[in-house]
Structure 1
Amino acid sequence: METSKFNDQLLSFLQASPTPFHATASMSDELRKAGFVELFENDNWVIEEGGKYFVTRNASSLIAFTTPTLDVSQTGWRMIGAHTDSPCLKLKPNAHVERFGYHQLGVEVYGGVLLHTWLDRDLSIAGRVTFKDKAGAVTSRLVDFKKPIAVVPNLAIHMNRGVNDGFSVNPQEEILPILCGAENTFELHALLVEQLKKQHDGLDISHILDFELSLYDTQAPALVGLHEEYICSARLDNLLSCFVGLQSLIDSDCQRPSLLICTDHEEIGSLSACGANGPFLDDVLRRLSPNPEQFVQAIQRSMLVSADNAHALHPNYANKHDKLHAPGINKGAVIKVNANQRYATNSETASVYRDIAAEENYEVQCFVVRSDMACGSTIGPITSGEIGVPTIDIGLPTFGMHSIRELAGSQDAFGLYKVLVRFTQRDALISRPA
């Protein structure tokens, strides 16, 4: 695969994945096309040697794996981890707000949103809707309006003269999207029923029971820059890593047991049934290695590459970086290190990654947060702490993390993909004394 083709597929994936539900559905479709068999957690699993499988939980988290051998106690797993969620605005249960002649939506902030970036954007709505059908069954479907149907207008500078000296956005009062004028009839459930029937032919809906809906920016992902050096898109954190991990697993030679885990709720701490701080990965691995002794052996012969975006050195804010740990865009993936275990990288896991990257002639950078600043975290320490797997935290350098529209390098993702393909094919990882 060439860089241009890889990036075209990446842009399509980003466009098709406005929510974790849609991202999981997009990845599931790609896995089916690649010959992976879908498993369901409430069924008995029959796993065959030489098989390729995937399973989802909550329709927003996914684990895919290959089984060249059924005894992983001597081989371990080559694991790649990422997360499907991104900071956004989610509709409240009673979302309809009518005031001052407008129909608006009450929203709740999900994760660490850069709120001001949501102003003056063409917004749509997507997510999961649960309803009762005419037969009485409770079921769910995904919905995506795709077109711009909402906007949060800024306040004119004439009414806020000090705005350029710094301002804050009140999420309760000032971030409510406008849908239409109050002279128009608006009922949210009726709108959802209409849209569901448009998207899903023959759907028989009695009434809406509940929903999990998010707003998103309809501007399409794009290659930008004078020489198209950059990828500009919503949700690069962390669908960029999901896509790279997915393609790496699909294109592996399936000679070593390999596993991709993409979980929801990382942006709010990962503590959920389908988050990294929940039992999803442990449940799957124990079904694949039910013997407790062999399970521990397999984990200690495994390694997890936790892939989440990294902060590139911003030329306008260079003082926000440690000068010796200031990654550049299109200069390779970043090994993330933190002495207080906000990242799970250690010298051994970093060395394995450096060795593999060198085999691909792929540059390696390093990020350490300034000693006078707080450090973010990832699924790496959580997963490592839950199951004990040796872990490295890496990420692709990014500007504007948690903005409605983020920026990454157009060369970095394809380079990481090649390294991770080689990682899935790696025979020995970390050598231990006999």
Structure 2
Amino acid sequence: MTDEYDVIVAGAGPAGAQCARDLAARGYDVVVLETEREAEFPRTSNKSTAGTFPSMMTAFSIPDDVVMNYTDAVVLESPNDHFVQEQAGAVLEFADFKRFLVEDGRADGAEYRFDARVTAPIMENGEIVGVRYNGDEEVYGKIVVDATGPSAPLAKALGVSDLKRENHAIGVEYELEGIHVDHPGFADLTDAMMLRLDHNLAPGGYSWIFHTGEDTAKVGLCYIQNESHRQNARESFGIDDYLEFWLETDPRFRDAERIEGVQHRGSAHIQLPGERLSTDNFMAIGDTVPTVDPLWGEGIHKGMKSARAAAATVDACLDKGVEDTSAEQMALYDKLWHRDVAPQMSTRLLMTELLYLAPNERYDRLMADLRRLDENTLAKANRGNKRAIAKLLHLEDLPLLARYLQNRRGIELPSALDRTLERTAGASPGRFD
């Protein structure tokens, strides 16, 4: 093993492994440092629901054999209603998916060092030049990529990570068999991915059922400990208690049993990234900067896109032997991230936080609105289209908007939302100070 590389990647999750995969295919010397032991990988980092869309599978050449089930619908549920939209999807076997990315990158020459816990950057003249891991072991590179997720030891040390504790979402998921996926009174969840908005089950978040074939599914929930969580939380309930409560009270789970030894726990931050995502010789990708889709909670595609943006930045910085890894040149990654990975992020977060703050009865009205509007409204709203979001708002939402903005003084409503509320209320709501 050498101690000098073109690129060092910290973390072998989807973002880190895909970045190494792209770079190795382009002929770069890349090494990946992964905390877990190879024989167990990814036992402790097998944390994703692994719901994604065919666009990711095609764009990144992901084989069918890592897919548990292909789905053809997305279902949104409220406490008393539901909305069904035709939308192709894929539920991955996350561990197989991660192992595929590692082996495919290795086939092109990427080096992996497992059981290698990254602890700190190696600095020279104020710039990162390498990584220290397992206490005193060192490796050097022209460019370093932090893909370690929320722990972000390198990004935090360099002032790139700005993850806020109050934006930290936690989740738990079981895999079950014996589920009634087409139970009377509910939407048919056969070959579907379902998200449920219901503060009784996930105060300040949402729950889900992802059909994985026959009578099996991934079932879980997540939430942020936000205002809605504080208002709706059950006394002494932890996240496992909410999931058990759902399993005990929903008739779809009457005959269901947990598949032994299969449980996933994870976390992510639902927030805007910091002012910068890179600096001299350095980039942060995946969940190291918040890349999870704010509405659907889908993080795989976003993480993979951030990996590809990072690989393109390496090309621009190391191309043809003319090396320029200054902060100014590395800032190409920031531009690509905001353009290709998470465009309209602030507007999409507005919609997401409004959803989390809304009461249960508002969720029922949302289902009716979605049926009333054209089928593309939800997709456009999830992409941050202001007109589409405005179509989902009513006069009764003014107090909700005020609550959202009460701790964000001086923030104005997006113009399209402002105009819609003006027409609805007969007077401009303007700015909530």
Common fold, TM-score beyond 0.5? Answer: no
- The structure with higher relative contact order (CA 8 Å, sep 6+) is 1
TM-score (structure 1 length as normaliser): 0.27
- Structure with more of its chain in helix, by fraction: 2
